[in-house]
Copies of this chain bind each other. A is one copy, B any other.
Amino acid sequence: MQLKEKIEELKNYLSEYEKLVQAMSLVYWDMRTNMPTKAGESRSKVLEYLSGESFKMVTSSKVEDFINDLSKYKNEMNHTEARMLQELERNYNETKKIPQDRYVAFVGVCSNSELAWEKAKDANDFEIFKPHLEKVVEFQKEFINYWGFKNDKYDTLLDKYELGLTTEKLDKIFAELRDGIIEVLNNVKASNKKINRNFLYGNFDIKKQKDLSLYILNKMGFDLEAGRLDESVHPFTTNFGNKDVRLTTNYHEDEFTSALFSTIHEGGHGIYEQNISDELEGTGLQTGASMAIHESQSRFYENILGRSKEFCSYLLPIAKKYFEDFKNVTIDEFYDAMNYVETSLIRTEADELTYGLHIIIRYEIEKELINGRIKVDDLKELWNKKYNEYLGVEPKSDSEGILQDMHWSDGSFGYFPSYALGNLYGAQMFHKLLEEKPDIMAEVKNGNFTEIFKWLKEKVHVHGALYTPEELIKNITGEELNPKYFIDYLKNKYYTIYNVK
């Protein structure tokens, strides 16, 4: 049968491509975790070379032939085959429109820019990073011109991370989200509940933090024989197939939660990747459904699970074994401290309630920047202004302001919204999970995460990118993405903690 043969041929081709990408991802992982400082320049060249090769494979005439040949069989295709073709085409079109030399140059600019961002953050000086960022932004604008756009240039970037997403849709979703958050925030601020979280700050031996992080990861279901946990300035997850999934975190001796919750967050990404079906190898679909769906898993583990009362009840006795300072802390105190609400400067350390506002700020800035209505030169001022407006705080230094995230350094414009969408997807899934299994959280108290793990695996993980995010959320919950569930979740959780009637 001709279709089956063509599909097999395509799978062989994509398997080769996957190996190249795995090598490239490893080279990148190493750059962020292990590479000696003087190797930056030569490493950039290796990444340029590999990305040039990957560019060639994605845009080769072979791929064009696959697309043309397979298109004839569209009516005979099963779901997997149809999705293979769809993603192949999408990838081909997205890449083919960019001249290879520009693409390779962009990769080089990014890897230098990332290193410059690290330096700038260390030195607390945006000026070090600025010229690099300007280049990255210019490339983004140039690429949008290649890709084309309809109403808003930023739509082109959004669509890369979340198929079909537009500023028009997202403006509505974020308006609803923002209003919801601000309503809850105002009520929380008006509450006279006083939460003490001093015990989360002190001296936490890093070796012990590492041991605890690994212990919890393992408990959650992250397979340490098919993955690792390392350290990097900015925590991230990458993988080379589903049997080698690498998380990083960043330990701070003076506080308890940062590294642990980074680990749990990245662990959510990692569990997703480890549990994508082996059968999707060579299909181009052995990856997450979208960045937002990926974030839905990481933020599910980090917040919905990790900052739940039940998880805190499980965690506290263990934490007491590692750190004596927690000796007299009660479960209620621990849980409250973990969910302390405070308008603050750093996104990754923001509480679950105000987190969305950090994303909305970045979204608004990126839209302006990409549409050329502001310049890189204006970024810092605008950033500080918006933090003041939305959160009532203002950065005293670049590191705690404009330099805090690495995302712009590698040109990931359009990515930030994924985090907030991840919260929405996650809460909508959680609502469904509780409908199906109302008692599921009770087991968490005993450190038993198996049922949650199995549910997420079955509903989300195994499928990889077999479904678009829209299809997936509909398959799982029966309706499309709806911010209501997350806002309800916030109200329910924070009104209880802060005694809001």
Contact = CB atoms under 8 A, between A and B. Distances in A.
Nearest to A21: B46
Interface in A409-464: none
Contact of A42 (B36, B37, B228, B243): B243
A30 interface: yes
A151 B471 CA distance: 69
A37 B244 CA distance: 9
A23 B50 contact: yes
Contacts of A19: 45-46, 49-50
Interface in A23-49: 23-24, 26-27, 30, 34-39, 41-43, 45-46, 49
A214 to B, nearest CB: 13
A225 interface: yes
Interface in A10-27: 16, 19-20, 22-24, 26-27
What DSSP secondary structure best describes chain A's contact surface? helix
Given A19-B49, A23-B50, A241 B30 contact: no
B30 A46 contact: no
A393 interface: no
A43 B240 CA distance: 8
Contacts of A37: 225-226
Contacts of A39: 226, 240-241, 243-244
Contacts of A49: 16, 19-20, 23
A310 interface: no
A227 interface: yes
A223 interface: yes
B36 A27 contact: no
Contacts of A224: 36
A446 B224 CA distance: 46
Interface in A197-255: 223-228, 240-241, 243-244
A226 B38 contact: yes
A30 B26 contact: yes
A241 to B, nearest CB: 4
Contacts of A46: 19, 22-23, 240
A241 B23 contact: no
Contacts of A35: 244
Contact of A228 (B36, B226, B228): B36
A24 B23 CA distance: 8
A227 to B, nearest CB: 6
Contacts of A23: 23-24, 27, 46, 49-50
B36 A244 contact: yes
Contacts of A30: 26, 30
B240 A36 contact: no
B38 A225 contact: yes
A118 to B, nearest CB: 15
A381 to B, nearest CB: 36
A220 to B, nearest CB: 16
Nearest to A45: B19
Contacts of A227: 36
A244 B43 CA distance: 9
B241 A36 contact: no
B34 A228 contact: yes
A37 B243 CA distance: 9
A38 B223 contact: yes
Nearest to A223: B38
Nearest to A242: B42
Interface in A286-324: none
A365 B38 CA distance: 43
Given A23-B46, A36-B244, A42-B241, 9 more contacts: A16-B49, A19-B46, A23-B49, A23-B50, A36-B225, A38-B225, A39-B226, A43-B240, A43-B244
25 contacts: A16-B49, A19-B46, A19-B49, A19-B50, A20-B49, A22-B46, A23-B23, A23-B24, A23-B46, A26-B26, A26-B30, A30-B30, A36-B224, A36-B227, A36-B243, A36-B244, A38-B223, A38-B226, A38-B243, A38-B244, A39-B243, A42-B240, A42-B243, A43-B244, A53-B53
Pick the 4 closest A-B CB pairs, nearest first.
Answer: A39-B244, A19-B49, A38-B226, A42-B241
